[in-house]
Chain A
Amino acid sequence: MATTIDEVYDNTWDDPRKRSPLVTGGLDYGQVTSTVTSIAEAPAPPRIWYILMAISLCLLGMLGVLLLHLIVSGVGVWGNNNPAFWGWPIVNFVFWVGIGHAGTLISAILFLFRQNWRTSINRAAEAMTIFAVVCAGMFPGVHIGRVWVAYWLFPIPTEHLAMWPNFRSPLLWDVFAVGTYATVSTLFWYMGMLPDLATFRDRAKNKWKRMAYGILCLGWTGSARAWHRYEMAYTILAALATPLVLSVHTIVSFDFAVSQLPGWHTTIFPPYFVAGAIFSGFAMVITLLVPARAMFNLQHLITMRHLENMCKIIVATGLMVGFAYTIEFFIAWYSGVKTETQTFIMRAFGPYWWAYWTMFTCNVFIPQLFWFKAVRTSPIAMVVISIFVNIGMWFERFVITVTSLCRDFMPSSWAYFRPTYVDIGMFVGSFGLFMTLFLLFCRFLPVVAMAEVKSVMPHGDEEHH
């Protein structure tokens, strides 16, 4: 049998002679299963889960009330007004869509590149993706004003309009991009979960639980044929999801880049948005997983090496967005276009200087701390930095959306955007929605992909009998 489970194991070394283990504490297959299933099998979740759930539900309730207020009163309750018709709702939409990208990168791209360290974190990251897309989809859904005809977003023939959506508009591409993203992510997440759900079913003591997990796992038998088809389907879905990592935020960036507005009409937007999305997504994964692994004792599965790898990705993508911020100024100057130059000077030194420098500090300066190994192996430090990154990435979208709209070609239409309490409340409330879904996921579904983790553990190693 294995050595003591609570052995603290540093697996962050980079010694080429020996592969560092991805599961520490000497866990064997059975212990991996019991570690993960114990969360759902425990009669009650830890006390902190209840506290977090209570807070999340309060925020979710606030979101519900504000949504009702918005739908009853109209979008005038937001701060959106001439000239900034895209205010916080669009900022929040881009923010949440971006968050999702890390999950897809971890589950699809790292899978195709055979990055074995993805196995412990992919399930939770994919769940985060789906919940982030739920939050993201809500904002444009209510931004249209008349929520009850939201289906007009889709090219469905109606007797009301006698008109198709504008197929040349990136806003329609967005509907397809986000719709595809939500569908493929959900399929990928759910299909990957089938073997683990079957494990939950097999271990369930209670008849109803067994039935519920039995239905959820679609009668998974674990036969060789089932596994063979599962692996094929998983690879196909990974291949389908891979282009989405790049395409979804590219199309979100087209919402801005295809327009003529100075500060939006730039070709750098697609790569810059994708890098920013992965950057913010990984920050959110760390923000969620560091507390989650402590709450449910998953330190030996989601090890320091996993967290350290994510910190490295944050430094890399952080440098990419930093490069984009800087090169935008060069391009603005090099273009020789007066309005373009003016917009960028206004961004950094105009009335929104505070937003710009919050963004720059949080996204470019603070993540540089991850160059120090002591910082990127300290759970508290990485959570704090990740939260700063997410603040910075929210401000990035705010800076792009609001400063450009408030400083367009015509100085007579310049104005200063102010959010209302509904704007702020709905953004905070969207975290309630996100956290409620994530906490429910942690409690009732396999947080770690048990079957996949076992596939990257050493087989017949000298450490095992």
Chain B
Amino acid sequence: MQEFNFPNWVNRLFYVGLAGAVVFGGYFANMLFFAIHPDGVNVGHKPRQPVPFSHQLHAGELKMDCRYCHNTVEVAGHAAIPPTATCGNCHGGNRVVAGRTLAVVHPESPLLQPVRTSLEKANEKKGTEPDAVDWIKVHDMPDFVYFNHSAHINRGVSCVSCHGRVDQMLEVQQVKSLSMKFCLDCHRNPTPHLRDPNLVTDLEFKISKEHPQVVDGKRFETQEEYGAYWKDKLGISPNISCSTCHR
């Protein structure tokens, strides 16, 4: 009968195989749950831009409002990347537009050369497509996702909820996963992210005992109460059906 059986060392091989299955299974589970975790894959995307525009300087130190450049954010789904003309308002070089001399900030800076080139070309080819600065999109949602900025901005969801403290970023990077879970977490429980729609671009916004928020004479010391107030006041009940975002 022995000739039919496996040799005895196969018994030990069984345990080796079992250990291998556990290790491989663990590896596979790890790949599935952690290695491709959106927090690991998506967060930290920081492309090098053609012009090293510092949000830290403009939005942080100089306190420019987000909407000065991203001016469509309240009325459109898309938050506009400003045309070079917006940059040119300050960095236009020695230009006279409509009889007014534009502000000249760092007119000779080599880092701003793409901006000046773009502006000069725009002047040469009046009425034609200007030669834009090729900014690289940082927060790039998949094509099958519909996201509307105005729907969120007008209902008191701050920029900071999805984009983080852009006013502290030298170069803009993605700090939230922007995965479907990220969206759903807020759509299922929006209170932690709601505030006065007039304060959405205040990235330093704080609420606590030391920094209470007062609305209509009511004093709020916690985000729960404050968010719940605005949820109630603005009548917010976010949709979580598939077709809300996958249209």
**Contacts from A to B (Cβ < 8 Å):** 151, 156, 158-163, 198, 202, 214, 219-223
B interface, over-half SS:
helix
Q: Closest Cβ of chain A: how far from B179's Cβ, in Å?
A: 5
Q: A159-B38, A162-B185 are in contact. List 6 more A-B contacts (CB 8 A).
A: A158-B181, A160-B180, A161-B184, A163-B180, A202-B4, A220-B4
CA distance A158 to B29 in the complex (A): 11
Cross-interface CB contact of B37 among A159, A161, A219, A223, cutoff 8 Å: A159
B contacts, CB < 8 Å to A: 1, 4-6, 10, 32-33, 37-39, 179-181, 184-185
The residue of chain A having its C-beta at the shortest distance from the C-beta of B180 within the complex is A161
Cβ-defined contact, B5 with A221, below 8 A: yes
Known contacts A159-B179, A159-B181, A163-B180: does B33 contact A214 (CB below 8 Å)?
no
Cβ contact within 8 Å between B4 and A159: no
Q: A159-B37, A214-B6, A219-B4 are in contact. Are A151 and B180 (CB under 8 A)?
A: no
The chain A residue sitting closest to B10, CB to CB, is: A219
Please state if B5 and A163 are interface contacts (CB–CB under 8 Å): no
Chain B residues, CB < 8 A from A159: 33, 37-39, 179, 181
Q: How far is the CA of A4 from the CA of B184 in the complex (A)?
A: 76
Which secondary structure dominates chain A's binding surface?
loop
Docked Cα-Cα span, A159 to B5, in Å, equals 47
Among A160, A161, A221, find the residue whose CB has the most chain B CB atoms closer than 10 A.
A160
Q: A151-B32, A156-B32 are in contact. Are A161 and B181 (CB under 8 A)?
A: yes
Give the distance in Å from the alpha carbon of A151 to the alpha carbon of B4 in the complex: 41
Rounded to whole Å, the gap between the CB of A199 and the closest CB of chain B is: 11
List residues of chain A with CB within 8 A of the CB of B6: 214, 219
List 12 contacting pairs A-B, 8 Å CB cutoff, sorted by A. A158-B33, A158-B181, A159-B33, A159-B39, A160-B179, A160-B181, A163-B180, A198-B4, A219-B5, A219-B6, A222-B4, A223-B1
With CB as the reference atom, state the residue of chain A lying closest to B188. A162
Asked whether A160 lies within 8 Å of B38 as measured between CB atoms, the reply is yes
Of the candidates A163, A198, A202, A222, the one whose C-beta lies within 8 Å of that of B184 is A163
Residue of A nearest to B4 (CB): A221
State how many angstroms separate the Cβ of A185 from the closest Cβ of chain B. 23
Query: Cβ of A162: which chain B residues have Cβ within 8 Å of it?
Result: 180-181, 184-185
How far apart are A197's CB and chain B's nearest CB, in angstroms? 12
Residues on B with C-beta less than 8 A from A158 are 32-33, 181
Specify the chain A residue showing the minimal Cβ separation from B185: A162
CB-CB nearest 5 A-B residue pairs: A162-B181, A221-B4, A219-B6, A162-B184, A159-B37
Tell me the bound Cα distance from A425 to B38 in angstroms: 36
| Residues in B neighbouring A151, C-beta threshold 8 A | 32
Residues in chain A near residue B10, CB distance under 8 A: 219
Residues of A within 8 A of B179 (CB): 159-161
In the bound complex, residues from chain B placing their C-beta under 8 Å from that of A160 are 38, 179-181
In the complex, residue of chain B having the shortest beta-carbon distance to the beta carbon of A221: B4
Q: In whole angstroms, what is the CA distance A219 to B37 when docked?
A: 43
Q: Give bound CA distance, A198 to B10, whole Å.
A: 17
B residues near A222, Cβ cutoff 8 Å: 4
- Specify which chain A residues have a CB less than 8 angstroms from the CB of B185 in the assembled complex: 162
Q: How far is the CA of A223 from the CA of B5 in the complex (A)?
A: 11
| Residue from B4, B180, B184 with most neighbouring chain A CB atoms (10 Å) | B4
Q: B37 contacts which chain A residues (CB < 8 A)? A: 159
Please report the C-alpha to C-alpha distance between residue A91 and residue B185 in the assembled complex, in whole angstroms.
38
Residue numbers in B under 8 Å from A221 (CB-CB)? 1, 4-5
A158 CA to B180 CA, complexed, in Å: 10
C-alpha gap A220/B5 in the complex (Å): 7
Q: Within 8 Å CB of A202, what residues of B?
A: 4
Complex Cα–Cα for A214 and B37 (A): 42
Q: How far is the CA of A158 from the CA of B41 in the complex (A)?
A: 14
**What are the residues of chain A within 8 A of B39 when measuring CB–CB?**
159
Chain B residues with Cβ below 8 Å from A163 are 180, 184
A contact residues around B4 at 8 Å (CB):
198, 202, 219-222
B1 cross-chain contacts in A, Cβ below 8 A: 221, 223
Give the distance to chain B from A267, nearest Cβ to Cβ, in Å: 28
CA distance A214 to B33 in the complex (A): 38
Report B10 CB to chain A, min CB distance, Å.
8
The distance in angstroms between the C-alpha atoms of A161 and B184, with both chains bound, is 8
Q: Across the interface, which residues of B come within 8 angstroms of A223, CB to CB?
A: 1
B88 nearest CB across to chain A (Å): 40
* Distance from A351 Cβ to chain B, minimum over Cβ atoms (Å): 30
User: How far is B38's CA from A163's CA once the two chains are assembled, in angstroms?
Assistant: 15
Complex CA–CA separation, A257 to B231 (angstroms): 42
Please report the C-alpha to C-alpha distance between residue A232 and residue B4 in the assembled complex, in whole angstroms: 22
Q: Which residue of A lies closest to B5 (CB)?
A: A219
How many angstroms between the C-alpha atoms of A156 and B4 in the bound complex? 42
CA distance A221 to B32 in the complex (A): 41
Chain B: CB-nearest residue to A166: B242
Residue of chain B at shortest CB distance from A201: B4
For B40, the closest partner residue in chain A by CB is A159
Nearest CB on A from B81, distance (A): 27
Q: A158 vs B33: C-alpha distance in the bound complex, in angstroms?
A: 7
Determine the distance from Cα of A163 to Cα of B37 in the docked complex, in whole angstroms.
15
* Chain A residues positioned under 8 Å from B180 (CB to CB): 160-163
Chain B nearest CB, measured from A311 CB (Å) = 41
Closest-by-CB residue of A relative to B29 is: A156
Question: In chain A, what residue has the closest Cβ to B179?
Answer: A160
- Name, among B1, B37, B39, B180, the residue most crowded by chain A CB atoms within 10 Å (CB to CB): B180
Chain A residues, Cβ within 8 Å of B181? 158-162
How long is the Cα–Cα vector from A222 to B3 in the complex, in angstroms? Answer: 12
- Find chain B residues with CB under 8 A from A219 CB: 4-6, 10
Residues of chain B contacted by A156 (CB below 8 angstroms): 32
The closest CB in chain B to the CB of A148 belongs to B36
In the docked arrangement, what's the CA distance between A219 and B4, Å? Answer: 6
Q: Taking the nearest CB of chain B, how far is it from the CB of A215, in angstroms?
A: 8
A81 CA to B33 CA, complexed, in Å: 34
- A183 CA / B184 CA spacing, docked (Å): 35
Q: How far is the CA of A163 from the CA of B39 in the complex (A)?
A: 17
Using Cβ atoms and an 8 Å threshold, which residues of chain B touch A161? 179-181, 184
Report Cα–Cα, A221/B185, bound state, in Å.
58
Most chain B CB neighbours (cut-off 10 Å) among A156, A158, A161, A221: A158
